Chains A and B, each alone.
Chain A
Amino acid sequence: MAIEQYLLKHKKSLAGQWFDLLTGTYPLETVRLLKKETNQFANPVGHAFLTAIDEILDEFLGQNSAEAMWPLLDKVIRIRAIQEFSPSSSLVFIFDLKMLARGVLEEELAGGLIDHGELSDFDRKVEALALLAFDVYMRCRENLFEVRMTELKNRTNRLLKLVGNE
């Protein structure tokens, strides 16, 4: 049985712990909101994280296609890219998967059901996911500056048209 299969067996626990770690990067008062409020409009960030984590795990432990993964990562990263995080802090949650996988697979690892080679392959897969996440992050930041530039252009667009410059 592949490591992904074992992880899928533990998906609920894995997703729960991943969500806890992700929300744990916010101040204590905010963690309470992100975890408790269930209305998606009263808690847009918590809701986005909760649903995205589930979808990311399904894709990551299933097909793991970059094309399908991009919009799923975007749901989380687009938010963190404009919050008070450094780029590294924004994306550190991806690397958390390595530690979490070891935690939920403790028994399987101890029982020799998963060997070190498989674990190394899994780590490399997480690293590939991190690189994809980096691309997504950069796209969001570029997008942010494009938005800023477009707004500046819109502001004087009419003036330029009036003087026949466009």
Chain B
Amino acid sequence: MAKVPKPNELVIEHGFPQTGWMDTPAVFRPGNFSYPGKAKNLQALGLPNPREWSPLDEDWKLPSNWKQIILEGMRERLDKFRSFKIFMDICVRCGACADKCHFYLGSGDPKNMPVLRAELLRSVYRKDFSLAGRIMGKMVGARDLTEDVLKEWFMYFFQCTECRRCSLFCPYGIDTAEVTMMGRELLNLVGLNIDWVVGPAANCFNNGNHLGIQPHAFKDMIEFFVDEIEAVNGIRCEPTFNRKGAEVLFITPSGDVFADPGTYTLMGYLMLFHQIGLDYTWSTYASEGGNFGMFTSHEVMKRLNSKMYAEAKRLGVKYIIGGECGHMWRVINQYMDTMNGPADFLEVPVSPMTGTRFDNAATTKMIHIVEFTADLIKNGKLKLDPSRNDHLVTTYHDSCNPARGMGFFEEPRYVIKNVCNNFHEMPPNTIREQTFCCGSGSGLNNDEFMEMRMRGGLPRANAVRHVHDLHGVNTLATICAIDRAVLTALMDYWVPDVTVYGVHELVANALVMDGETERTTDLRGEPLPGMEEDSENEDV
């Protein structure tokens, strides 16, 4: 039972502690941390120190030589990754990044300032890897690595979504997301990780996708969507699975296979590919576009990335098209080439419908479905009726990774404007390269973290509310599976009149397919504009 305070103890705390950051320890309580990685998932990935533990316990069951492991791990990575060493050395603490983090803006907690989050690690670096720090200690911002420091790392490196908005404003170009990635790698060395990251990574390693869907269930689910589409427009799509010799391998995040509203986006892919007659196949083994290895360590990221290419090789396809996903594209564009590439056994993607050659994917051999579709529209290969989306007043959320990780700004907007008549941008300092994160990326999209997610997503929701109030926006379109799931929750809390859509769901609504029956509803079963009566009659 909770301790009942005596009358003289009934003092209302007005707010945050006003102590300096080094003297303010991280306090864990239910709701402000993600559940720790389960032993079975660590074992599946061969990660160290598998055990059951809780951040609420005093004893985190660390190995007895944990400090040595962390410091040696740090030394190894400083030697291996010059970027990490530079990021540790060159920050002048100018503060340009400080107020750019969505978690800081939403929480007001200074340890969410990117400079301070990095400083959690940098202070230990100074103490153990610099002469000044060894001699002068706290005077030069150095401190010993203690268990409390480690706990603080666990709290704050899992309160960063690796979105990289802060790095955009750094005059030195420090990629603070990579500092977080290094912080997480080091934590992993002593078995400190969260289950929402290592669980999906283990599932992907074992079964090919984050949700652990087995091949037969994956196939059943896609076929279930085929039935759903047929009920909407009478067209029966005919997807194939693990088909050798197909021209294209299509890979999308597995979240879209089960989680609404991503499921409708997946139906959009099926409809588009059927309409244009693309020679493509799904794989039930490489059935995941996302890569939660990126949130674990570079080794796990590499392992999970390699399976997509191994499957492309096995099936003998020419190239890969990837679905609407976020961090998948960061891995492909930023890390794939030096991890597993170049994919010489594949061909530079050429659209069979338009002949367009995607030289931007010359080494990765993998293109984003939105650029593929934008090219189809640009070349007049699709018959579209945007009035079918007239009940939607749309805005577009740039997902952090395609936006900042690959400069993908125009294609999604081009597609949306061709399939929707009503589109309004959010304010300039909240979109494109300055886009605000959903607040739930990098494995933080678990339900136990909901309160923190609402903090992290506050700046994004604030901008959506602005266009909702100004233009009546009721639709938030995005091209990331995590976004589709988590922005739905974010809108439910902050701007409940706004619904989240994938871009290819909007495409599918507008797509006029050969031989289709008269459409009365959209993919969600909602009546199309002007069809309200017809769909009511059908319901009867």
Contacts and interface: CB of A to CB of B under 8 A. Distances in A.
Tell me if chain B binds chain A.
yes
Interface of A: 24-30, 33-34, 37, 39-45, 48, 78-79, 82-86, 88-89, 92, 143-148, 150-152, 154-159, 161-162
Interface string B393-432: 0000000000000000000000000000000000101100
A162 B224 contact: yes
B429 A26 contact: no
Nearest to A163: B220
A25 B260 CA distance: 39
A96 B224 CA distance: 58
Contacts of A86: 13
Given A29-B110, A41-B430, A83-B455, A148 B450 contact: yes
B345 interface: no
A162 B222 CA distance: 10
B536 interface: no
Interface string B8-48: 00001111111000000000000010000000000000000
Most buried by B among A41, A48, A79, A143: A41
Contact of B15 (A48, A85, A159): A85
A84 B492 CA distance: 21
A15 B15 CA distance: 20
A88 B488 contact: no
A112 B16 CA distance: 39
Interface stretch (B234-242, B276-284, B456-464): B456-464
A155 to B, nearest CB: 5
A111 B99 CA distance: 46
A25 B14 contact: yes
Interface string B210-230: 000000000011001000000
A48 B459 CA distance: 11
A157 B14 contact: no
Contacts, number: 125
B259 A155 contact: yes
B18 A144 contact: no
Rank and list the top 10 A-B pairs by shortest CB-CB distance, nearest first: A25-B15, A44-B462, A30-B108, A82-B454, A26-B108, A148-B450, A29-B110, A147-B492, A27-B16, A88-B12
B259 A147 contact: no
Given A27-B109, A157-B260, A158-B221, A143 B15 contact: no
B319 to A, nearest CB: 29
B493 interface: yes
B447 A151 contact: yes
Interface of B: 12-18, 32, 98-99, 104-110, 113, 220-221, 224, 257-260, 263, 427, 429-430, 447, 450-451, 454-455, 458-459, 462-463, 466, 485, 488-489, 492-494
26 contacts: A27-B109, A27-B110, A29-B113, A30-B16, A33-B98, A39-B429, A42-B429, A43-B99, A44-B105, A44-B106, A44-B458, A44-B459, A45-B106, A45-B108, A82-B455, A84-B32, A84-B108, A89-B15, A144-B450, A147-B489, A148-B447, A150-B492, A151-B488, A156-B258, A161-B224, A162-B220
B16 A41 contact: no
A89 B12 contact: yes
Contacts of A24: 14-15
B494 A78 contact: yes
A84 to B, nearest CB: 6
A48 B98 CA distance: 20
Given A147-B489, A162-B224, A84 B259 contact: no
A41 B454 contact: no
Contacts of B493: 78, 82, 143-144, 147
Contact of B489 (A28, A40, A151): A151
B447 A152 contact: yes
A162 B226 CA distance: 12
Contacts of B430: 41
Contacts of A28: 18
Nearest to B17: A27
A146 B32 CA distance: 18
Contact of A79 (B14, B260, B458): B458
Nearest to B24: A27
A82 B15 contact: no
